[in-house]
């Protein structure tokens, strides 16, 4: 863990430019991270594009979308762990703000291989890595593990479900941690040579929780939403329901290329009924699960190419969503996996009856074999949220229901284009 020889100024840490790639990782969950029922009352709303707040010493700092994405990872991870609650999440935010400025930092001096993972800049604090500046040599995890923001958050919270089983100690491993001052709580985990620094960031942590979540916290902050990509029709709005619906492709990566309904099949040239909506997107663009559910189909065929079907319960009714034309190697889940809304399940391809890279997306009321309906109105009716990055899927056995197994998270290795394709590529089925 971090043992600094000199303190970095808060303003320099938070406002300094992010050197290197801001990668697409396992972050940015706009819904409460839980399985079938919420564990914590903390629920994450839409993540703002920027947030300005004032530290305890009067320093005003502005956090960008990447930093706030990491804050969202900390919030959703903490909300999914029994015993953490709002107070524990605030402590973790204070620690990450102080240690890294909420940036995922590599350390190429100590670990050159850390630059190969998605990161927001290169740190130089001995052999520390990531959001919480954890050290492989101290037993916090491998370089690969510590370059995963969701892993670092779980390691910070610790407890019975933590990856280190109490050594090094996470927050839940500290006896009576709830009775300590928040700065002392952060110090108990970080074991820093400068224990007084964490309290300075308590107002900023409160500001993040106020801007992000549905439960109140006293603080002052200015909140500015960044630009968002329009949905097919209508606009996304936040919801506190655990049945949240997510748009199946990253924000800004797609263009609608072929709507639901009658058309001339671009492969056969014959009149046909198109049973879904096509979204053209660059090859390899991540595909997200539209809602919490169970994967019922994950297979490859000559007609559909790579096909995934997920069954959900939305508004009390069973409905399935289908995702087609992935390459065979682009299917990241298996039948029986339990997935969350926004979880990466595959990547865009052009296999089966397809004329170019795109996602064929269907909505089937009644379940896997139900008759498809137009997915665009369904997405808008359920206020589908547009995400920039995938959601981590918590791999805990306790989340498995009805015999389903919970799949491990799949890292997103490529960053989709921020600009939608200018030509319509995806006809296909």
Across 73-90, average pLDDT = 88
For the stretch 296-354, pLDDT in tens is 999 998 889 999 999 998 887 889 999 999 999 999 999 888 898 999 999 999 999 89
The pLDDT of residue 423 is 28
The pLDDT of residue 233 is 35
The pLDDT of residue 244 is 84
Residue 358 has pLDDT above 50, yes or no: yes
Residue 373 has pLDDT above 50, yes or no: yes
Q: What is the pTM of this model?
A: 0.46
Helix (H, G, I), strand (E, B) or coil at 247: coil
Confidence of residue 44 (pLDDT cuts 50, 70, 90): low
Cβ burial of 299 (10 Å; 0-12, 13-18, 19+) is middle
Residue 203 has pLDDT above 80, yes or no: yes
The pLDDT of residue 399 is 38
Contact 251, 229 (CB under 8 A): yes
Neighbours of 210 (CB within 10 A): 18
Q: Structure tokens of 89?
A: 């999440």
For the stretch 379-402, pLDDT in tens is 988 888 888 888 765 443 333 333
Contacts with 238 (C-beta within 8 Å, 6 or more apart), sequence order: 30, 45, 46, 383, 385
The pLDDT of residue 7 is 38
The pLDDT of residue 281 is 93
Contact 74, 189 (CB under 8 A): no
The answer to which of 101-105, 177-181, 217-221, 292-296 has the lowest mean pLDDT is 217-221
Q: Structure tokens of 44?
A: 């994450």
The pLDDT of residue 315 is 80
The pLDDT of residue 311 is 92
Q: Which of 9-13, 355-359, 403-407, 416-420 has the highest mean pLDDT?
A: 355-359
The answer to which of 169-178, 365-374, 407-416 has the lowest mean pLDDT is 407-416
- CA 143 remoteness from chain centre: 20
Confidence of residue 89 (pLDDT cuts 50, 70, 90): very high
The pLDDT of residue 323 is 97
What CATH class has 255-406? mainly beta
Residue 212 has pLDDT above 70, yes or no: yes
Confidence of residue 43 (pLDDT cuts 50, 70, 90): low
Q: Which of 5-14, 42-51, 175-184 has the highest mean pLDDT?
A: 175-184
Q: What percent of the chain has pLDDT over 70?
A: 73
For the stretch 1-38, pLDDT in tens is 433 333 333 333 333 333 322 222 223 333 333 333 33
For the stretch 239-275, pLDDT in tens is 333 468 999 999 989 999 999 999 888 888 888 899 9
Domain boundaries, the chain: 10-224, 255-406
The pLDDT of residue 65 is 87
Residues 355-394 as b/e (b if ≥16 CB within 10 A, e otherwise) read: bbbbbbbbbbeeeeeeebbbbbebbbebbbbbbbbbbbbb
| Alpha-carbon distance values, 375 to 136, 238, 322 (Å) | 46, 19, 10
Across 162-184, average pLDDT = 91
């Amino acid at each position: 863990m971090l043992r600094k020889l000199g303190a970095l100024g808060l303003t320099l840490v938070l406002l300094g430019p992010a050197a290197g790639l801001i990668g697409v990782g396992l972050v940015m969950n706009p819904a409460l991270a839980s399985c079938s029922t919420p564990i914590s009352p903390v629920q994450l709303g839409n993540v703002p594009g920027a947030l300005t707040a004032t530290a305890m010493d009067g320093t005003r700092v502005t956090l960008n979308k990447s930093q706030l994405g990491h804050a969202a990872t900390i919030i959703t991870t903490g909300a999914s762990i029994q015993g953490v609650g709002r107070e524990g999440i605030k402590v973790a935010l204070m620690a990450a703000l102080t240690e890294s400025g909420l940036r995922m930092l590599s350390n190429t001096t100590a670990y050159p291989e850390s630059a190969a993972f998605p990161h927001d800049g290169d740190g130089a604090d001995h052999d520390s890595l990531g959001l919480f500046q954890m050290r492989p040599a101290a037993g916090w995890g491998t370089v690969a593990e510590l370059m995963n923001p969701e892993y670092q958050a779980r390691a910070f919270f610790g407890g019975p479900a933590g990856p280190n089983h109490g050594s090094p100690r996470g927050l839940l491993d500290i006896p009576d941690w709830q009775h300590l001052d928040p700065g002392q709580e952060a110090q108990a985990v970080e074991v820093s040579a400068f224990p007084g620094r964490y309290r300075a960031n308590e107002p900023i942590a409160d500001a993040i929780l106020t801007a992000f979540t549905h439960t109140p916290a006293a603080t002052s902050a200015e909140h500015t939403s960044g630009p968002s990509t329009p949905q097919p029709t209508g606009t996304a709005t936040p919801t506190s329901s655990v049945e949240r619906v997510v748009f199946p492709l990253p924000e800004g990566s797609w263009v609608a290329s072929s709507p639901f309904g009658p058309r001339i099949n671009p492969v056969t040239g014959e009149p046909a009924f198109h049973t879904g909506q096509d979204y053209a997107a660059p090859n390899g663009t991540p595909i997200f699960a539209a809602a919490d559910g169970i994967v019922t189909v994950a297979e490859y065929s000559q007609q559909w190419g790579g096909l995934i079907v997920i069954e959900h319960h939305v508004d009390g009714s069973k409905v399935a969503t289908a995702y087609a034309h992935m390459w065979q190697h682009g299917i990241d889940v298996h039948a029986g996996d339990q997935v969350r809304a926004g979880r990466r399940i595959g990547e865009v391809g052009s296999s089966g009856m397809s004329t170019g890279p795109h996602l064929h997306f269907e909505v089937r009321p009644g379940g896997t074999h139900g008759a498809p309906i137009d997915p665009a109105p369904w997405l808008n009716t359920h206020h589908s949220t547009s995400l920039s990055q995938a959601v981590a899927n918590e791999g805990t056995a306790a989340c498995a229901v009805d015999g389903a197994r919970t799949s491990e998270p799949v890292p997103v290795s490529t960053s989709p284009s921020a600009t939608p394709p200018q030509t319509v590529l995806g006809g296909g089925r």
